[in-house]
């Protein structure tokens, strides 16, 4: 039982929220409530959760000498010694084999994406994370692979400006995380941090935040999302001609700007950027902003 608990902790289920990106195609194509497509996407979500857990355990095996020096990471099962390296290695091999076989049975394109995702994290843990800038671009590319997996599963395309928004916001979050690690724990807990300078990370944070806002703004202005034909939409069409042609998605831009600003505030004022999943789920103003943004987006696509 203790070993199973150690495996569960090492799998980092709190990080699985990142794999929700895979739902992007069906949400923004107006197909979220299509049972068949939702079931397929949910299947893909769980597959990528397992792939993510594999990458986390592999990273912990390689990083455990550094994790032992980290005030938080030293409590992880492998660094703490509650999970043996041999057991974790066997689990990585076994789960990888099972997941790849299931992915192959699902479809060849999905299998290719799953394999690329696994290899990307393998090389990230071994090499890429040692190099500044390349490490955060690798993280961002892993988010892109999740989005592409959603496309492959459903057959629905993600608009280019929305795809670029995912790309830049993942770069922004990764950069914020590196900045927090550098400020809070210094350069000894991660090899790439020895090459980062504070002003470089400040520049990258500003650049990627700006690029995220611009990309999302262009998406809301240039792309016309599929709006549902409901009784409510017909009512609004009668009082506001060309209701569905109006750029209603643009009302969500202030929420995105505030969300990014709040995230940056938590970095620079409270130095909390090291654990993005914790910020997103526990900071009340940021969580409220995300929920409000989601409700407006869902309402515009599926109700109005």
Q: What is the per-residue pLDDT across 116-165, written as a single tens digit (0 to 9) for each?
A: 999 998 888 888 877 778 888 998 999 999 999 999 999 898 889 999 99
CA distance 107 to 174: 31
CA distance 281 to 38: 24
Helices (H), the chain: 2-10, 24-28, 35-67, 77-80, 85-106, 108-126, 134-154, 160-185, 198-222, 231-239, 253-270, 276-282, 284-302
The sign of the CA dihedral 101, 103, 109, 114 is negative
DSSP 8-state symbol, 189: S
For residue 179, CA distances in Å to 15, 50, 148, 167, 190 come to 19, 28, 28, 19, 12
User: What average pLDDT does range 82-105 have in this prediction?
Assistant: 88
Going by C-alpha positions, the residue among 29, 71, 42 that lies closest to residue 181 is 71
Question: Position of tokens 């689990």?
Answer: 91
Tens-place pLDDT, residues 192-245: 566 667 677 888 889 999 999 999 999 988 877 665 554 444 554 555 545 454
User: What average pLDDT does range 8-35 have in this prediction?
Assistant: 88
CA distance 142 to 15: 13
Residue 171 CA, chain-centre distance (Å), reads: 10
> Looking at per-residue confidence, does 151 or 280 come out higher?
151
pTM of the shown model? 0.84
Residue 79 and residue 10 in contact, taking contact as beta carbons nearer than 8 Å: no
């Amino acid at each position: 039982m203790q070993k199973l608990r150690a495996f569960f902790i090492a799998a980092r289920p709190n990080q699985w929220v990142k794999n929700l990106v895979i739902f992007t195609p069906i949400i923004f194509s107006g197909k979220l409530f299509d049972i068949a497509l939702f079931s397929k996407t949910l299947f893909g979500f769980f597959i990528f959760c397992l792939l993510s857990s594999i990458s986390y355990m592999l990273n912990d095996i390689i990083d455990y000498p550094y994790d032992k020096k980290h005030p938080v990471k030293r409590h992880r099962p492998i660094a703490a010694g509650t999970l043996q390296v041999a057991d974790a290695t066997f689990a990585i091999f076994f789960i990888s084999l099972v997941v790849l076989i299931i992915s192959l049975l699902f479809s060849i394109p999905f299998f290719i994406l799953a394999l690329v995702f696994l290899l990307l994290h393998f090389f990230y843990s071994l090499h890429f994370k040692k190099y500044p800038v390349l490490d955060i671009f690798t993280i961002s590319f892993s988010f892109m692979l999740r989005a592409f997996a959603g496309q492959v599963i459903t057959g629905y395309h993600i608009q280019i400006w929305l795809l670029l928004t995912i790309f830049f916001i993942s770069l922004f979050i990764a950069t914020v995380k590196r900045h927090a690690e550098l400020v809070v724990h210094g350069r000894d807990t991660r090899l790439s941090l020895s090459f980062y300078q504070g002003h470089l990370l400040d520049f990258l944070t500003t650049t990627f935040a700006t690029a995220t806002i611009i990309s999302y703004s262009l998406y809301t202005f240039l792309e016309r999302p599929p709006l549902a034909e409901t009784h409510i939409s017909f009512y609004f069409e009668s009082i506001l001609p060309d209701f569905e042609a109006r750029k209603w998605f643009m009302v969500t831009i202030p929420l995105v700007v505030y969300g990014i600003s709040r995230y940056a505030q938590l970095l620079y004022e409270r130095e909390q950027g090291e654990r993005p999943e914790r910020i997103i789920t526990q900071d009340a103003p940021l969580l409220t902003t995300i929920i409000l943004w989601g409700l407006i987006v869902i309402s515009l696509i599926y109700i109005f």
